[in-house]
């Protein structure tokens, strides 16, 4: 599968949390989600960290989105938040409601 996306970081990072810009990506169909996983396992993206979340959602570095776009995969995406992005009160509320991770 030849993909004409922008160049990636010179050295893939080993864990998704090491990337500066991480996105949640929810695909419209299971087929698009499976296609995205196949793309993430191509030679061009070998070693790029990603996580599989619930349903058709993946957690990926933003730099892989052009690869999905080139293959015309349908998805919604947004910035993945970390606890440092939230006010302390909001973190406490979420921990009470959802527990710690």
Choose which CATH entry (3.30.360.10, 3.40.50.2020, 1.10.357.10, 3.30.70.790) describes domain 21-98.
Answer: 3.30.70.790
Instruction: Decide: helix, strand or coil at residue 22.
Output: strand
The confidence score (pLDDT) of residue 71 equals 96
Q: What is the pLDDT of residue 38?
A: 96
User: Which pLDDT belongs to residue 80?
Assistant: 86
> Block means of pLDDT (10 residues each) for the chain, length 101 residues?
56 81 96 96 90 94 95 95 85 84 58
What is the reported pLDDT for 17? 85
Q: Vertex 29, ends 44 and 8: CA angle to 5°?
A: 20
Q: E strand or H helix at 1, and its extent?
A: none
State the pLDDT at residue 77: 96
pLDDT for 13 equals 75
**Maximum Cα interatomic distance, the chain, rounded to a whole number of Å:** 47
In the chain, what are the domain boundaries? 21-98
């Amino acid at each position: 599968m030849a993909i004409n996306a922008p160049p990636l970081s010179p050295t893939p990072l080993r864990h998704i949390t090491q990337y500066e810009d991480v996105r949640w990506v929810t695909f419209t169909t299971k087929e698009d989600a499976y296609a995205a996983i196949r793309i993430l396992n191509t030679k061009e993206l070998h070693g790029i960290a990603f996580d599989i979340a619930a349903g058709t959602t993946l957690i990926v570095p933003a730099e892989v989105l052009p690869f999905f776009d080139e293959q015309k995969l349908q998805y919604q995406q947004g910035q993945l938040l970390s606890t440092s992005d939230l006010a302390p009160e909001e973190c406490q509320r979420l921990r009470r409601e959802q527990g710690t991770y």
